[in-house]
Each structure stands twice: as structure tokens, then as C-alpha cells.
Amino acid sequence: MKQLLNRLFEHQYLTADEAAAVLINIGRGQYNEQQLAAFISVFLMRSITIDELAGFQHALLEMATPVDLSAFDPIDIVGTGGDDKNTFNISTLSCLVMAGAGYKVCKHGNYGATSVSGSSNVMEQHGVVFTTNVDALKRSIDTCNLAYLHAPLFNPAMKTVAPVRKALGVRTFFNLLGPLVNPSRPKKQCLGVYNLKMARLYEYTYQQTGVDFAIIHSLDGYDELSLTGDMKIVRNNGEIVVKPAGLGFDPVDPAALYGGASVQEAAALFDRVLENRCTEEQKNVVLANTAVAIQVADPGKSFEAAVQVARESLESGSALANFRRFVELNQG
């Protein structure tokens, strides 16, 4: 690692093979926390290259515990995190609203590293027990339209770096990798990113892998459609910049997206949204993000129609009832 760090500190780049080898060694626990922190910090000071990202992705997928859910053709809805906005769990709620509407979802998530509560935090707060049992995951997605894959269980490198990521408290390249290393390798993905440079990186990566995708970004820095200002949506067939009114919604005050100061507060807010007891602004943000994901899964559906499907799932209680079934089935 010392030789590698010296090269990186001299502003050199890794080949895809070198990047893959480092991640494999991380997964094997060959580096201490100080070395990991130094390595991760390099990519806080410069952008990751396409070759480095491809190498890291390849290594993580090769090491991951495989999960074949291809028969269900699910979608993953995920954000990179790292936008320092501490919003409520919008992408996780979008997964549940979509599952409540009958779409198959395979959510790949983790504990919060740069926010109070990640998707795994909120799942644990509701009593969900994470598993790598493929039969259990198939039963879950078959019964409840949702399977939840807790990243550290499926990939040793994610588990190894978790304490370092939490201690650093800032976004790292592992935020970028999370959406690319879902061990079920879904062919549909709705991804939120925290800046436009990352959007371009993911767009190129997805185009190489044949994934149907939507990449979303709010130009004021959110890794989701925040409805707080102008937003960009990048799809396989092009991209648009749109204002909230262009999606049929009023602008949202950023304060309405606050996710709470503790895991417990975040879970309580999560419940209020799912129970349709939230503010109109909170609901609209979830509906907007869900609608984009629905369009990925169902390309023939207009955005307005997708919003109505999402609204029906949430306001009818279907999303809530389905989530309760999911929790009951996944309590171990």
C-alpha cells in the first residue's frame, strides 16, 4: 500500500486492473484503518477516473455474494448520498411506494455515512433482519414486490471500510460505488447523484452495461428530485432540465426535506410519509422521485400517469400495507 499511496500522492492514476486489485485486498482485510483512510482521502482531493471506477466496480461485484433475482426483472432506486443535505429517506420511500403499486424492487442499501439515517438504519428501526439467504429474498420480492440487500452483508470490502467511512464523515468513492454493485445486478436503475460530474460518469458506465436508467440531480446539490429548484433527468435516450412546475408540482422549501437529528426521528418521519400524514411538500417529493422510477420500469407511461400510480399507492394505504407485510416476512 505504501508504494501505491506514494504514486497517488504524486497525482498518478490507477489502471482498471490496479484499482480492482486494491479493492480485492481491502475485502481481504490486508490494510489497516490508517492506510484505508489515506487511500480513500486521495479520491476526496481529485475525481475518480472511468478506469478506476470500472476496476472498483468489477472487483466488488466479483467478491459479492451473488443473488439471482433476474426472473423478477426488478428495479433499484438509490442515491449516492454525500450531498450533505440530511434529507429524509426519499429513495427508500420511493422503493416502498413503487412496490405498493405492484412493481418489483430490489433495494441495495447501507447505513448512513454522511447523513443521520441511511436506508439500512430505517429498515432496522422497523425490525427488519438482513439476510443473504437467496430463497428468503426471492420469497420477499415475490410476496411483497421488494427485496432488501444490506450492502455489508454481501460485500466484504463494504464491511471493512464502514468504520473508516463513518469516522471520516464525508462522502467517499464508496458512495459512488454503492449504486453500481447491487449483487442482484438489476437491469433497471433510478439513481440520484450529488453533482453533474457524477451524472456524466454514471451515464457512461450505464451505457457500457446495457442498464435502463434514469439519473436524477437537483442543480442546488441534492441527490434526488428535491423540487427546490431546477433539476436534471438523464435517461438512455436523452436528458432534460426541468423546474418543479414542469413536473406539475409547486416549489418546495428546503427545510421541508430535513431528515431529523437522530435515527429515531428519521424513522418517525419515514412513518408519517408512509402513513400519508406528512406535509404536502414531503409527499410531492416522494411522488416525483417514484414517478421517474416508474417510467424506467414502464417506459410507455407518461410522467403524469406515473405520478398518479404513485399517488394511488401512497394515499390508498397500499404502500403502507405492503411494507407491513414486508416487515413481518423479514423479521427473521
CATH number of the CATH domain containing 177 = 3.40.1030.10
- Domain extent, residue 31, equals 2-63
DSSP state of 101: T
Q: Same domain for 163 and 129? A: yes
Q: Same domain for 43 and 167? A: no
Domain count across the chain: 2
For 125-173, how does the pLDDT look when each residue is reduced to its tens digit (9 = 90+)? 999 999 999 999 999 999 999 999 998 899 877 778 878 877 877 777 8
* Exposure string over 108-117, b if 16+ CB within 10 A, otherwise e: bbbbbbbbbb
From the list 242, 266, 256, the residue with the least C-alpha distance to 116 is 266
Q: Same domain for 255 and 301? A: yes
Backbone angles phi, psi at 273, to 5 degrees: -65, -50
331 burial level (CB within 10 Å; 0-12, 13-18, 19+): exposed
Axis crossing angle, helix 196-209 with helix 50-63, rounded to the nearest 10: 60
Q: Same domain for 219 and 308? A: yes
76 burial level (CB within 10 Å; 0-12, 13-18, 19+): buried
Domain end (from 44, 63, 82)? 63
Are 282 and 88 spatial neighbours (Cβ–Cβ below 8 Å)? Answer: yes
Are 121 and 111 spatial neighbours (Cβ–Cβ below 8 Å)? Answer: yes
> Can you give the pLDDT at residue 287?
98
Q: Same domain for 104 and 241? A: yes
Q: Same domain for 76 and 55? A: no
Q: Same domain for 263 and 282? A: yes
Q: Same domain for 197 and 260? A: yes
Q: Same domain for 161 and 24? A: no
Residue type, 149: L
> Can you give the pLDDT at residue 113?
65
Q: Same domain for 35 and 131? A: no
Residue type, 74: P
- Sort strands 231-235 and 212-218 into parallel, antiparallel or unpaired: antiparallel
Are 155 and 64 spatial neighbours (Cβ–Cβ below 8 Å)? Answer: yes
Q: Same domain for 52 and 76? A: no
Domain end (from 63, 87, 112)? 63
* Dihedral angle computed from the Cα positions of residues 186, 190, 192 and 197, in that order, rounded to the nearest 10 degrees: 80
Task: For the chain of 332 residues, list the mean pLDDT of each consecutive stretch of 10.
Answer: 92 95 90 91 90 91 92 95 84 97 96 80 95 97 98 83 78 81 95 91 89 96 96 96 98 94 92 97 98 97 98 98 98 81
From the list 205, 57, 69, the residue with the least C-alpha distance to 147 is 69
> Can you give the pLDDT at residue 176?
80
Are 318 and 145 spatial neighbours (Cβ–Cβ below 8 Å)? Answer: no
Q: Same domain for 14 and 58? A: yes
> Can you give the pLDDT at residue 81?
77
CB neighbourhood size of 138 (10 A): 16
- Sort strands 238-242 and 231-235 into parallel, antiparallel or unpaired: antiparallel
CATH classification of the domain holding 34? 1.20.970.10
Classified as helix, coil or strand, 68 is coil
- Sort strands 238-242 and 105-109 into parallel, antiparallel or unpaired: unpaired
Domain end (from 39, 63, 87)? 63
